Structures are given as structure tokens and as C-alpha cells.
């Protein structure tokens, strides 16, 4: 009998923020002796095998297969293993069954920036049902907790914000020589605010002396528009598309950057901000959503809708060695306050209350 089931059917081979969260959290749940629903064995953990084709790596088909599996097969596994509680690190769980569950919500960006897509329908119709039937809800910031209440009317008492963390052995200061490039890490969706970031970079008086590196997968919906903007601004030689950067290579490109530029219009947490601070790289980020919760006073906070503010922050970092040094020290101190052990302990405390 396994009292606690942990759903890892969504874990991808090409890690994004949610996979990073789940992978780092699992070792800290071991004291609860969970059974992990996983497509691949996990060292030192009890696993129940699930199909490997339920992840985002399979595109929309993977998502639909996983939702069908969640609704029809997961309740059978729950019953077979005589479980008392299911923990899902994403907001997915069987509806209208006897499964007791706790889920994690990472953001409600598909509702804040609604567009015609299956993800918007998923967030508008499926997620609220999941949250209504959950025993409790974990989320990754106070900003996300407020969104859950705002969009779905869920009582604040049913939600526990638990800030995430970074791998301090991986993301650390390497004392590498800085190169003259600003760095962005993430997807190229419009809410990531890359058009304003590019426009801001183009207005730095000496922008020809710098480059802007964009680390993130090519997206046929958005990349061509960004490249057209870059051409129109005459900065084709200054902007470098890196495509998806493997996890193993991120610390080196972060350490080499003069600053991380991350003025997103909304984030549930914002891993790149924390990872850059942990590497001692100055950060420019937004003064809204969860980003001030992560950055504290250790970054230059800007209005993400104001291109001039973004540009001024980039110029300040480019021109001032003193500012870069100041932000490096503040960032390293701030990042040291986050750990997966803290995140794990807080999560175990919530789960234990419902076992």
C-alpha cells in the first residue's frame, strides 16, 4: 500500500521550468515514502511505470493522451495501490472520482494573455474544476496565489504559496571574464516581451559595442516576427538566436553575460532571474507579477511596458562597473536565500496535513 502517489507522467526529456521543479522536489519527498508514477525508473524511489508518450515532447497528442490517462487510468492505479492522496506537481487530476489530491499551479498566463489555443481552453474550463475538487493547492508565488483567487474565486485559505529554488551546485559564480552580451532565456511568446527588449537594446547609444543573445527554442509563430523587427532596426549583426540551450551549458552562458534581461509581462516564478543571481550576473527584470518576490532588492526592476526604462537599465549596467559589482554581490546574497530543501520541507508540511 502506498499512501502517497506522485504524478510525474508529464516529465519531459527537454526540461522546462515545470520539469525542473518536479525533478528537484522529488528527493525531498522521500520521507513520505511516495510511489512515483513515472515513465522511467528514478533512483532510490518506488516507481509505478506509466507510458512514455504522455509528455509535452509528444506535442498536443502527448497532452491529450495524458489528460485521458489522468481521467480514466489514474483513478484505477490510485485504487489498486490503496492510496490516500495524490500529489500532482501540475494542475491535473481525475475529476468526479474518489481520488483525494493536491496540485501545484505555476501560473495562469493563458488566461491573462488569452488566445485561441487548446491551452486557453484547458486553463479556462479544466483547471478550475481541478482546483475546486482539490484538497489543497500549492503555488509558486504570492502573485500566482492572488491570480487563483482572482480568476477562480478560490479561498486564500485553500492555497499555500511556496517559492521555488535553484540547483546551487549547478548555477554558481564561475568567475569567468564578462563578454559584451546581454542575455535573455526563455520562450518567445509575446508575453515574454521580447519585442520591447529588442527595441530597448537598439536604443542603447553604443549598442554596436554589444550583442543581445536570445536563448530559447525557435518558434515558427513568433521567431520570424522578431527577426523582421531586428532587420528593421538594423541590428541583425548584434542579435544572436541561440535556440534551445541544454541545461548543462546554461551556467557558462549566464556567467559570461554582462546582464540577464528578463522584463516579462508576467511570470508565475521566473527561474532565469534566480539562476542568473546565483551566477553573480546582474539582472534586469519586471516590477510586476512574481518577479519582485524572486529578485527582492538584488536587481534593477523596470516597468516592462516602458521600453525607455528597459533601455536605461541596460545602459546603466553597460556603463557602470560599480553597478555591475553591486548587483553581483546583492544577487549572490539573494540567491543564497533559496534552496530546494526549503521548498521540499514546506511541500512535505502541506502534504502531511492531508495524508
Query: What are the pLDDT digits (tens) for 198-257?
Result: 999 999 999 999 999 999 999 999 999 999 999 999 999 999 999 999 989 999 999 999
**What is the structure's pLDDT at 2?**
65
Superfamily of domain 4-165+339-352: Glycogen Phosphorylase B; (3.40.50.2000)
- β-strand 46-49 against 101-105: which pairing, if any? unpaired
- Whether 74 has a pLDDT exceeding 70, the answer reads yes
pLDDT tens profile 78-120: 999 999 999 999 999 999 999 999 999 999 999 999 888 888 8
- Whether 14 has a pLDDT exceeding 90, the answer reads no
Q: pTM (2 decimals)?
A: 0.94
- Whether 1 has a pLDDT exceeding 70, the answer reads no
Asked which of 39-53, 152-166, 223-237 is least confident by mean pLDDT, the reply is 39-53
Task: Decide: 307 and 203 in contact? Cβ < 8 Å.
Answer: yes
CATH number of this structure's domain 181-335:
3.40.50.2000
Q: Taking residues 328-338, report their average pLDDT.
A: 98
**What is the structure's pLDDT at 120?**
87
| Half-sphere exposure of residue 206: CA atoms within 13 angstroms, side-chain side | 9
- Whether 22 has a pLDDT exceeding 70, the answer reads yes
Question: SS3 of 237, please?
Answer: coil
Grid coordinates representing 244 are 534551445
Q: Which residues pair with 5 in a beta bridge?
A: 35, 86
Name the segment(s) of the chain with CATH classification 3.40.50.2000. Answer: 4-165+339-352, 181-335
**What is the structure's pLDDT at 191?**
97
Residues 6+ positions from 247 with CB-CB distance below 8 Å: 15, 170
Residue 1: how many other CB atoms lie within 10 Å = 7
pLDDT tens profile 282-307: 999 999 999 999 999 999 999 999 99
Grid coordinates representing 215 are 536563448
Strands (E), the chain: 4-7, 35-38, 46-49, 85-88, 101-105, 136-139, 159-161, 181-185, 211-215, 239-243, 259-262, 283-286, 300-302
pLDDT tens profile 176-200: 999 999 999 999 999 999 999 999 9
Tell me the C-alpha to C-alpha distance, in Å, between residue 318 and each of 192, 201, 205, 207, 325.
22, 11, 11, 10, 12
- Whether 345 has a pLDDT exceeding 90, the answer reads yes
Task: Decide: 199 and 230 in contact? Cβ < 8 Å.
Answer: no
**What is the structure's pLDDT at 17?**
84
Amino acid at each position: 500500500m502506498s499512501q502517497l502517489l506522485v504524478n510525474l507522467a508529464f516529465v519531459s526529456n527537454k526540461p522546462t521550468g515545470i520539469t525542473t521543479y518536479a525533478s528537484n522536489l522529488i528527493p525531498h519527498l522521500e520521507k513520505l515514502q511516495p510511489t512515483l508514477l513515472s515513465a522511467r525508473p528514478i533512483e532510490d524511489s518506488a516507481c509505478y511505470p506509466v507510458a512514455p508518450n504522455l509528455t509535452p515532447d509528444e506535442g498536443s497528442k502527448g497532452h491529450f493522451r495524458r489528460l485521458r490517462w489522468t481521467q480514466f487510468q489514474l483513478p484505477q492505479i490510485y485504487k489498486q495501490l490503496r492510496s490516500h492522496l495524490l500529489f500532482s506537481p501540475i494542475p491535473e487530476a481525475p475529476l468526479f472520482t474518489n481520488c483525494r489530491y493536491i496540485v501545484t499551479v505555476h501560473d495562469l498566463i493563458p488566461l491573462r494573455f488569452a488566445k485561441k489555443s487548446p491551452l486557453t481552453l484547458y486553463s479556462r474550463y479544466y483547471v478550475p474544476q481541478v482546483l475546486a475538487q482539490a484538497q489543497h493547492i500549492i503555488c509558486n508565488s504570492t502573485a500566482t496565489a492572488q491570480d487563483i483567487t482572482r480568476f477562480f474565486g478560490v479561498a486564500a485559505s485553500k492555497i499555500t504559496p511556496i517559492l521555488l529554488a535553484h540547483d546551487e551546485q549547478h548555477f554558481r559564480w564561475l568567475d569567468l571574464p564578462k563578454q559584451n552580451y546581454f542575455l535573455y532565456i526563455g520562450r518567445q511568446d509575446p508575453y515574454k516581451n521580447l519585442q520591447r527588449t529588442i527595441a530597448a537594446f537598439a536604443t542603447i547609444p553604443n549598442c554596436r559595442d554589444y550583442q543581445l543573445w536570445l536563448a530559447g527554442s525557435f518558434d515558427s509563430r513568433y521567431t520570424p516576427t522578431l527577426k523582421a523587427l531586428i532587420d528593421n532596426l538594423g541590428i541583425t549583426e548584434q542579435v544572436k538566436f541561440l535556440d534551445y540551450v541544454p541545461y548543462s551549458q546554461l551556467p557558462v552562458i549566464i556567467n559570461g553575460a554582462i546582464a540577464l534581461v528578463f522584463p516579462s509581462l508576467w511570470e508565475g516564478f521566473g527561474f532565469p532571474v534566480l539562476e542568473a543571481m546565483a551566477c553573480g550576473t546582474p539582472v534586469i527584470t519586471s516590477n510586476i507579477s512574481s518577479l519582485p518576490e524572486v529578485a527582492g532588492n538584488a536587481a534593477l526592476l523596470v516597468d516592462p511596458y516602458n521600453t525607455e526604462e528597459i533601455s536605461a537599465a541596460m545602459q546603466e549596467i553597460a556603463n557602470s562597473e560599480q553597478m555591475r559589482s553591486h548587483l553581483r554581490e546583492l544577487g549572490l546574497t539573494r540567491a543564497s536565500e533559496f534552496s530546494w530543501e526549503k521548498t521540499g520541507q514546506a511541500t512535505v508540511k502541506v502534504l502531511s496535513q492531508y495524508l
